[in-house]
A = this chain, B = another copy of it.
Amino acid sequence: MATVRKLDALDDVIHQKVRLGVMSSLMASGEADFNFLKGALGVSDGNLSTHLTVLEDHGYIIVHKEFVGKKPRTTYTPTLAGRRAFELYVTALESLVRAG
């Protein structure tokens, strides 16, 4: 595949570093809550929220809100579309960095 098409195949929704971290975490763990992601990625509440909203708006993750006792807990899971987009991204990236 030509380099230009490999670059186009690098989904901008996933390529952004915080979102790449979120998707990598969710692919590895299946689900994660807000505080786990915040600690794992070392980002502020606002920054994480912004990027989670982008992923949700693109249908890559599902948000689940519940109460554990009286404390709210928000968890995130990747959708099938999100998993597929992540796999395509990784394939395109590996192809790009290995062969230019």
User: Known contacts A10-B17, A17-B15, A93-B93; is A4 also within 8 Å of B100 by CB?
Assistant: no
Q: Are A20 and B97 touching (Cβ within 8 A)?
A: yes
Alpha-carbon gap, A100 to B90, bound state (A): 13
Main DSSP-derived SS at the A contact region: helix
Q: Are A42 and B100 touching (Cβ within 8 A)?
A: no
Q: How many residues of A contact B (CB 8 A)?
A: 32
Closest to A28 in B: B100
Q: Contacting A40 at CB < 8 Å: which of B2, B20, B42, B98?
A: B2
User: Known contacts A10-B17, A17-B10, A93-B93; is A42 also within 8 Å of B99 by CB?
Assistant: no
* Nearest CB of B to A40, in Å: 4
Alpha-carbon gap, A97 to B86, bound state (A): 9
